[in-house]
Structure 1
Amino acid sequence: MKRRYVVVDLETTGNSPARGDRIIQVGAVCVEDGEIVSRFSSFVQPGISIPPFIEQLTGIDDQMVKGAPTFEEIAPELLQMMDGAYFVAHNVSFDYSFLQGELEAAGYMPLSMPLLDTVELSRILLHDADGYQLNQLADHLGLVHLNPHQADSDAEVTAELLMHLLYKLKQLPVVTLERLEPILKKLQSSTERILSDIIAEKSRVIQDDTGYDFYRQLVLKKVDRPLHEEEDRDAAETTAVLLREKLKQHMVQFEVRESQKTMMETVEHALQNNEHALIEAGTGVGKSLGYLIPGVLHSVRTGRPFVVSTHTVQLQQQILDRDVPLLSRIMPFSFRAAVLKGRSHYLCLRKFEHSLQDTLDDNYDTNLTKAQILVWLTETEHGDVEELNLSSGGRLFWAQVKSDANTCLGIRCPWFSRCFYHRKRREAHGADLIITNHAMLFTDIKSDSQLLPAYKEAVIDEAHHLEEVVSDHFGTQTDYFAFHRLIERLGTTDSSQAASRLLQLANLLELPKSTDVFTDWNDKLNELKQELDEMFRLLKWFVLNGSKSSAPDTGKVYLRYSSEDTGSPAFAPVAEMFDRFSSMVRDMLKRLRLITKAVMEKEDHLNFQQKGFMADLTGLRSDLEEELSSLSHLLTAPGHDEVYWLEADIKGARHAVWLYAKPVEIADILADEFFAKKKSVVMTSATISVRNSFRYMIDRLGLGDFGPVTAQLPSPFHYESQVRLMIPSDLPLISEVDAKTFTSMVSRSLYEIAKVTKGRMLVLFTSYEMLRETHSLFKELADEEELVLIAQGIDSGSRARLTKNFKKFDRAVLFGTSSFWEGIDIPGDSLTCLVIVRLPFSPPDNPVTNARSEKIRAAGGNPFYDLSLPQAIIRFKQGFGRLVRSQSDYGAVFVFDRRITETRYGRSFISSLPKLPVDIKPLHELTSSLSSWLKEKERP
């Protein structure tokens, strides 16, 4: 059956016809049988002035609509075009409701048409898109979008997008479409007839389903395990001499930089001599291949896996996607590489299958995410959440269906052979090269090496994060919301949660013990919730009244405490409440164990879904026990080798409190649990030396007794000609003026520099509060047509998305803090100026920093020089490294903090950088000098 789709886009003076906003342009495109058959486009005379913001956004001004027809004049032609068609728009609720309002005002009957929303359909069918704005989808699909935010162009692109989406929908297997059908009925788009027609049409012909794996009414992409040629790996070729000789033959056309060659030799030396190593490899050295080549050689020679650990998932993926294929071409033999992430990254197919049976859940985000996953399963080989672009509501659903050790049925699960996580583990156990992340690496160490295959050699990339990660993994934390979520999952007997389902199962099995367990269950659960609320409310009062430390950026206050505090009279009410609360939790757990035991005695009477539910219930019990144990540890604060603190959200809910404990020092943990048990661990980063010494990192990581090999490998970039370090001498220190005056001067200075650099500027802050205030003042100075401002926390989106948006504009300024100091890559002309507003010292009242400082002081050290300064220098070097990412990059680094030149310690920051010109002058002289230098650089 042929269908007509009319794709509509409206440009308007605002968001609400009820408040007097009107249409200024209409674009409509008619699609039939996969082709565009007609178009309609017209400016519309709104009868009111077009606001400046709308004029800037759309490029449509009052002059362009002068003499245009009114909406009443074009309405008949538009209605005739839409008669009997589907109404399609990108965010359909806006265009449809606005059009309804205009038609009603013009005296027409309300529209009654099936709707399709291309945003919603794109979320379901294009899981790998960076975003779902129309221009982002156009880029993703390679569609030409000539005039964004003009109705005719937007309608045209939306029509092409619709055709792509409908085509993709038709390619899905029938089983997937049948699974989608009831879910899509709960969403905005009217796809029922479209889906049923596709299903009927596909059912009449034989489908080519060779690329799919059909199992238990789900369709997965068929994954064939690759075959590896073993004849290239015989014993004769695994001697070091032959491997190196053959490697040279294969690398004749491969450019090896001098620093990269030195890195290979250093890594090979460390591996062969069972030594640990610290290697600082400057930007551009090519450190990934610098450790991968000798690492894989060593793995093949010894028969042991070589582990590479990164801090970020992005680098982990980059190594797999970019470096491993290159390595495969270089190496004279085949090798096996596998990526293994933490369990929560992978979908549990059993849980997802079970979630599809819940047909009563009308939550929009839940159903949208179910539809996304059903389509994604036909395409994914890895089942990794990183491949999905989930909404915040979608991530809540993911938490219900992710893989989890506590709920895994193992080999008893019918999905075991297809399980994404277990498949990754099997791949890792047969791999020469295992790529993981720090979180997974130290989860494995904490769980007695039960997750990763046994290994003796490893590389820790991004090693400057190691102390922080280990501290997190060997620490403890909990909060109100962790308990609240678990108690909600238990639920009452009249809910749709665990207790209700358990009662139904007990009645089905005719278990007499269910009466004892469930008689007053609901009352007890409500009492438990009340006790939880009261306990955390009191904890928040305790923090707010006792805290002297705050973090303005996050709106939270901190309170450090010790075992002396938790044993004090002031803390006694909290301790009493915890005793009552823990007693009540243990009672609930006892009831659950009793009924679980009774159910499992009749395990032979349970079907697969019921067994799965009991596994989930066991996991829920285990989670609750672990959380209670954590809270008990945190409220008694037993250890002197840990730092304990409470955080409370000042403006948050009355029970918004978090409790933390972390080891003060991790050196002994790493020395005993990691370095002493491995033959060779190579740690590398672009920033692990301080003042050209590795002493700080050796001490912090517990490497002092191991005598590690060290190497400092310079970047191949020519910083003396590529970069200028500029320090304005006329900017005040923040201690010399009030905060408002300082921020105002920073804003004006940034504006003066941005005029010279034509935007192309990254500004790094140490405080989100200062970022927000500076951004606000900068907006008042800069014309919106002159510069595009993009700010973390103000403009929505992830770091990657904000960076991508920054690259799109010719004259943009990007404001960032925290995560923007490292890990972002903006090569080329998009970035020619980096501004560091303040030297990145950690807040002195940070509980962990505070505790470490106390320990250093007690040992006779200097906390500033032994801890705060080295940390700040490493952070500073990370920020500096954002500017030059290739041989052709150039630009200026401004530092607005005069402490870098006027204090004795400030010179340590400059001496930790590559050798480069340093200019210390008033700002107007620096901008004049920079203007001349940039013109010279830009000259062909």
Structure 2
Amino acid sequence: MQNPITTLQNLLAADGPLARAWPGFQVRPPQTELARQVETALQSRRSVILEAPTGSGKTLAYLLPVLVSHRRVIVSVGNLTLQDHLLQGEYQKLRLALPQLRSMFVLKGCDNYLCAWRWAELQSDMGGRGLDPALQAALPVVRDWLRGTRDGDIQSLPLAAPVRAQVRPLVTIGSEQCRGADCAYFHSCFFQRARQRAATAEVLLINHRLLLSDRRLHSRGLGALLPGAEAVIVDEAHQLPDLLLQHNLDVMEEYRVQRWMRALEQLIQPQAGLYPEFQPLLRQLQRLWRHIGAQLQENAASQPLIPVDGASLAPLANLLQRLRQWLALLQAAALPVNQYVEPLQQWSELLQRAREPGQVLYADLGSQGLRLLSPRVLNPFSSLAQDATAWVFLSATLRVAGSFDFFRRALSLPALPNWHHNTGLDHREQALLWLPDELPVPGAEGFYQAWLERLQPILRQLDGGILLLFSSHQVLQQCAALLTDMTGRPLLVQTPQGDRQRLLRQFRQSPQSVLLATGSFWEGIDVQGTALRCVAIDKLPFVAPDDPLALAWRQQAAERGGSWFDDYMVPQAVIRLRQGVGRLLRGPADQGLVVIGDRRLVDKPYGQRFLNSLPVMPRARQWAEVADFLRQRDLLRATPGL
């Protein structure tokens, strides 16, 4: 039998089948070495942590060994968009070049598939006549789509993205509402069909949220969402620490409580006469929830998160306990209420735990109503040492100042072998890091006005596109308004409801434009050549101290010991900054400038941890040094300002 690693070397060779099938294919040493590391882990059933540099072609490097192996493998990527991108992009290209490769099946969470029960309810509700005209017009489109769809994936609905987003909650269902085997449509359910196909898939493609849901159930001894596998490849693994904390953040929020009550009341309504005390309990819950929100609002200061004394919520905890007793009676009477039990149990546990010493509970009075938040520390990866499955954690940014310690600590991983490849890109020659001097500290009055004024020479003179990365949408919009009068370049501005891919296409096609972005634009975007010559970052991307994620880090530090700022907040921001800086150079022909407007990189002791984590490249403090660098590489416009 041919050695799989030898096969990989042949596939990735300069005269191999991929080079013949793909014009412009280049042999990349980091890619070949990474593929070898993944293949070794698969063959030896050994878990490993791998860091591959930006521009190394890591997707191809792990997909090839997975698809040529005989192992049953789960591949997890960061989100739904990346699932679709990998399946329709790299995987399809590979299958065209190498038709003999194994097939891959995609599984998403249940709220990504049309729910036949919800659709039937919507149809029976006077055909949706109570909806606004745009949604009413969309229903025939859904009906026609249903006749032809094979998988029921909402993403394939032929509707404009904003309309599809409005239709989605009408025709999908969350896991807390899903009736499972009790549903009359169980055997025709798109999600259940997908799970059945996933159970027999040789290679299964999922996303991290589904992976963490499965690990959480597994760690609590409650079964599993995913089938067993001999190996799990976790791409973009740097996202796991934050996602794990979000997953471990127990939340009781108004819209879920209201949705839970409405669905349960609808279920009980036909037999309300048999259970006369139950519906009054639901109405009492609604009144009490509103009363708690009003009390907190009355006493709230300006901060978005309000500490709450768990003992003050005793009436709510007692009411939830009475509802749990009633649900037990309804279960005994064979009513299909199983899907309502778990959320009620989680809310009860949240309130119970909030009364224990050392536990914290916060209230958030946002636009969607009252939310109660309680972080806790669960370690679903701590048992990996005894796991027969090989886990491969992979990303371009797992190390902080050269160490994997933060990643291991954040996931409670056992001591695992690790490997990294130094970047194949020459940052010393291709890039410059500009840290403008004499800027105010971020947060000080006038910082953003001063920051944008320092960028004026770049806006006027740089030949190429500019990406401005921010940590909040609010600041982004403020800077967009200021820039309108400060530059003659086309401005592309990300909005919360905007189409990310469309914005990226516009940016690539308009190589002198300025793109203002936040969120997902910090990572996972690939813009090469003149279209991107400068990445400018306003400040170090720390999570806000009152963000629920920061609260979760604080709770984790309290339980494990150490400094929540030094051991968690700084490393998390370092990883984020590495991702943002990594947008600039995507290939050996790229060159340009990174600008960071945060003087704390130089003034604060922790700033050195950030600088030591970035690729080694020359630094400048004055515009004259920057201009020399750009001039030497012919990156300045012949006529500034045009």
The TM tier, using the shorter chain, reads 0.7 to 0.9
**Secondary structure, in 3 states, of the residue corresponding to 1:635?**
helix
Structure 1 equivalent of residue 112 of structure 2: 345
Deviation at 1:466, TM superposition (A): 1.0
Which residue of 287, 297, 307 corresponds with 2:74? 307
Deviation at 1:876, TM superposition (A): 0.8
Structure 1 equivalent of residue 145 of structure 2: 376
Deviation at 1:932, TM superposition (A): 2.2
Structure 2 equivalent of residue 440 of structure 1: 210
Distance (Å, rounded) in 1 between the aligned partners of 2:510 and 2:99: 44
Which residue of 280, 288, 292 corresponds with 1:535? 292
Structure 2 equivalent of residue 669 of structure 1: 380
Which residue of 619, 622, 628 corresponds with 1:929? 628
Deviation at 1:478, TM superposition (A): 1.3
Which residue of 493, 505, 508 corresponds with 1:791? 493
TM-score (norm 2): 0.85
CA offset digits 1:94-118 (Å, max 9, x no partner): xxxxxxxxxxxxxxxxxxxxxxxxx
Residues 1:718 and 2:426 are matched in the alignment: yes
Distance (Å, rounded) in 2 between the aligned partners of 1:361 and 1:860: 55
**Secondary structure, in 3 states, of the residue corresponding to 2:126?**
coil
CA offset digits 1:596-654 (Å, max 9, x no partner): 74xx7xxxxxxxxxxxxxxxxx3xx445433332332222325879864323236x47x
Residues 1:482 and 2:268 are matched in the alignment: no
The one-letter amino acid of 1:685's match is S
Structure 1 equivalent of residue 615 of structure 2: 914
The one-letter amino acid of 1:347's match is L
**Secondary structure, in 3 states, of the residue corresponding to 2:194?**
helix
The one-letter amino acid of 1:377's match is L
Structure 1 equivalent of residue 394 of structure 2: 684
Question: Is contact 1:765–1:817 with CA below 8 Å preserved after alignment?
Answer: yes
Deviation at 1:825, TM superposition (A): 2.9
Residues 1:749 and 2:454 are matched in the alignment: yes
CA offset digits 1:398-419 (Å, max 9, x no partner): 3343266664565996773x54
Relative contact order (C-alpha < 8 Å, sep 6+): which is higher?
A: 2
Structure 2 equivalent of residue 113 of structure 1: none
Residues 1:819 and 2:535 are matched in the alignment: no
Structure 2 equivalent of residue 399 of structure 1: 169
Distance (Å, rounded) in 2 between the aligned partners of 1:641 and 1:305: 45
Question: Is contact 1:383–1:420 with CA below 8 Å preserved after alignment?
Answer: yes
Distance (Å, rounded) in 2 between the aligned partners of 1:356 and 1:803: 38
CA offset digits 1:5-50 (Å, max 9, x no partner): xxxxxxxxxxxxxxxxxxxxxxxxxxxxxxxxxxxxxxxxxxxxxx
Question: Is contact 1:560–1:847 with CA below 8 Å preserved after alignment?
Answer: no
Distance (Å, rounded) in 1 between the aligned partners of 2:67 and 2:17: 15
Structure 1 equivalent of residue 343 of structure 2: 627
CA offset digits 1:369-406 (Å, max 9, x no partner): 32222232355443212223466675465334326666
Residues 1:728 and 2:436 are matched in the alignment: yes
1:356-755 counterparts in 2 under 5 A? 356-359=123-126, 361-362=128-129, 363-364=131-132, 365-388=134-157, 389=159, 395=165, 397-402=167-172, 407-408=178-179, 410=181, 416=187, 419-448=189-218, 449-490=223-264, 497-498=266-267, 502-503=269-270, 515-517=273-275, 526-541=283-298, 544=300, 550=303, 557-560=304-307, 565-567=309-311, 571=312, 574-580=313-319, 583=322, 585=323, 589=327, 597=334, 618=336, 621-637=337-353, 644-649=360-365, 652=367, 656-664=369-377, 666=378, 668-672=379-383, 674=384, 676-703=386-413, 705=414, 707-734=415-442, 738-739=444-445, 741-755=446-460
Q: Percent identity among equivalent residues?
A: 26
The verdict on how the C-alpha distance between 1:392 and 1:517 changes in structure 2, with shifts beyond 3 A counting, is farther
Deviation at 1:719, TM superposition (A): 2.5
Which residue of 450, 475, 487 corresponds with 1:770? 475
Paired residues, number: 623
Deviation at 1:836, TM superposition (A): 1.0
Structure 1 equivalent of residue 574 of structure 2: 873
CA offset digits 1:243-277 (Å, max 9, x no partner): 66885775674643111111112122222333221
Distance (Å, rounded) in 2 between the aligned partners of 1:314 and 1:391: 13
The one-letter amino acid of 2:572's match is Q
CA offset digits 1:203-260 (Å, max 9, x no partner): xxxxxxxxxxxxxxxxxxxxxxxxxxxxxxxxxx577588668857756746431111
Structure 2 equivalent of residue 71 of structure 1: none
What RMSD in Å do the two structures reach over aligned CA positions? 3.6
**Secondary structure, in 3 states, of the residue corresponding to 1:383?**
coil
**Secondary structure, in 3 states, of the residue corresponding to 1:835?**
strand
Question: Is contact 1:775–1:815 with CA below 8 Å preserved after alignment?
Answer: yes
Residues 1:278 and 2:55 are matched in the alignment: no
Question: Is contact 2:361–2:373 with CA below 8 Å preserved after alignment?
Answer: yes
The verdict on how the C-alpha distance between 1:808 and 1:914 changes in structure 2, with shifts beyond 3 A counting, is same
The verdict on how the C-alpha distance between 1:772 and 1:896 changes in structure 2, with shifts beyond 3 A counting, is same
1:843-858 counterparts in 2 under 5 A? 843-846=544-547, 848-850=549-551, 852-853=553-554, 856=557
Distance (Å, rounded) in 2 between the aligned partners of 1:245 and 1:901: 44
Question: Is contact 2:511–2:532 with CA below 8 Å preserved after alignment?
Answer: no
1:2-401 counterparts in 2 under 5 A? 237=1, 240=4, 250=17, 253=20, 255-298=26-69, 300=70, 304-328=71-95, 333-359=100-126, 361-362=128-129, 363-364=131-132, 365-388=134-157, 389=159, 395=165, 397-401=167-171
Distance (Å, rounded) in 1 between the aligned partners of 2:8 and 2:628: 50
Mind listing any 5+ residue stretches in structure 2 that lack a counterpart? none
Question: Is contact 2:115–2:173 with CA below 8 Å preserved after alignment?
Answer: yes
CA offset digits 1:481-539 (Å, max 9, x no partner): 22222333455xxxxx555xx43xx6xxxxxxx64446x88766554432332133234
The verdict on how the C-alpha distance between 1:639 and 1:322 changes in structure 2, with shifts beyond 3 A counting, is farther
Mean Cα displacement is larger for which, 880-889 or 244-253? 244-253
The verdict on how the C-alpha distance between 1:639 and 1:434 changes in structure 2, with shifts beyond 3 A counting, is farther
The verdict on how the C-alpha distance between 1:818 and 1:726 changes in structure 2, with shifts beyond 3 A counting, is same
Question: Is contact 2:376–2:555 with CA below 8 Å preserved after alignment?
Answer: no
Structure 1 equivalent of residue 599 of structure 2: 898
The one-letter amino acid of 1:632's match is S
The verdict on how the C-alpha distance between 1:710 and 1:816 changes in structure 2, with shifts beyond 3 A counting, is same
Question: Is contact 2:523–2:580 with CA below 8 Å preserved after alignment?
Answer: yes
Deviation at 1:772, TM superposition (A): 3.4
Deviation at 1:309, TM superposition (A): 0.5
TM-score (norm 1): 0.60
Question: Is contact 2:233–2:394 with CA below 8 Å preserved after alignment?
Answer: yes
The one-letter amino acid of 2:201's match is A
CA offset digits 1:32-84 (Å, max 9, x no partner): xxxxxxxxxxxxxxxxxxxxxxxxxxxxxxxxxxxxxxxxxxxxxxxxxxxxx
Distance (Å, rounded) in 1 between the aligned partners of 2:100 and 2:63: 14
Mind listing any 5+ residue stretches in structure 1 that lack a counterpart? 1-236, 492-496, 507-513, 551-556, 601-617
Structure 1 equivalent of residue 530 of structure 2: 829
Deviation at 1:459, TM superposition (A): 0.9
CA offset digits 1:555-597 (Å, max 9, x no partner): xx11345xxx323xxx2xx3225434654x4587578668x74
Question: Is contact 1:480–1:536 with CA below 8 Å preserved after alignment?
Answer: no
The verdict on how the C-alpha distance between 1:539 and 1:590 changes in structure 2, with shifts beyond 3 A counting, is farther
